[in-house]
Amino acid sequence: MESYIKYLLDSTIFILEGSVLTVKLYAVTIIFAIPFGIILALMKISRFKTLRYLISFYTWVFRGTPLLLQLFFTYYGLSIIGITLQPFTAAALTFVVNYSAYLTEIYRAGIESIDKGQYEAARALNMDYFQTMRRIILPQVVRRTIPPTCNEAITLVKDTALVVVLGMGDLLRSAKELFSRDFAITPFAIAAVLYLLMTTVIVYFFRKIEDKYSVYE
């Protein structure tokens, strides 16, 4: 029994070391993808037709192709034309671009769901476009898009496991290494618990944001 507890602790520590990479990639993706998604959503509903077409093409490409394929293209494909990226840089760039595309459509739909009368009311108060967005529209958009954004945030936790194709030692790869060495299911059980803990924290975080912005409903 004592030997199993020691094995459990040692395995957990080893897998936690791999989870550092998972958390770093997750944090970088969230920090950049959310603001990029908002900016691109505003560009997609702009009055400039060419800009709308460009953003539509971007979201079509990155939502319509597998994230794994995009990872291969960024890390291996770009090296063919002389652009060599470190594994983490390639993964972070791919994840940010991919998730920004999904969030662009989420926030675009959120903005378009706001009643047009609120824009007219803002103009009646002599607010310009940026004041209207910042003070009236975007706070409501944040509230309405919390559930789909939360879903994307949870999916991101699981998608980080794809970096194994770039030879990166993330949470899941650490568990797989232990499994290959010991041929025991325990490492995968530990990894599952850690993934569940991370998703639980994410859901709790988004619920707090939802409560904060409920005043806008």
Comparison of pLDDT for 2 and 56, the residue scoring more: 56
Give the angle 199-172-150 at the CA atoms, nearest 5°.
20
Q: What is the rounded CA–CA span in Å between residue 110 and residue 104?
A: 10
- Residue 184's domain comprises 2-216
Residues of the chain with pLDDT > 70, as a percent, come to 97
- What's the confidence (pLDDT) of residue 10? 86
| This prediction's pTM | 0.89
- What's the confidence (pLDDT) of residue 213? 66
Q: Is 67 exposed, middle or buried (0-12, 13-18, 19+ CB in 10 A)?
A: middle
> 216 pLDDT exceeds 60?
no
| Count of domains forming the chain | 1
Mean pLDDT of 75-94: 92
Q: Residue 41 in contact with residue 58, Cβ under 8 Å? A: no
Q: Residue 136 in contact with residue 210, Cβ under 8 Å? A: no
Q: What is the CATH number of the domain that holds 37?
A: 1.10.3720.10
**Lowest mean pLDDT across 15-29, 33-47, 168-182, 197-211:** 168-182
Q: What is the rounded CA–CA span in Å between residue 206 and residue 199?
A: 11
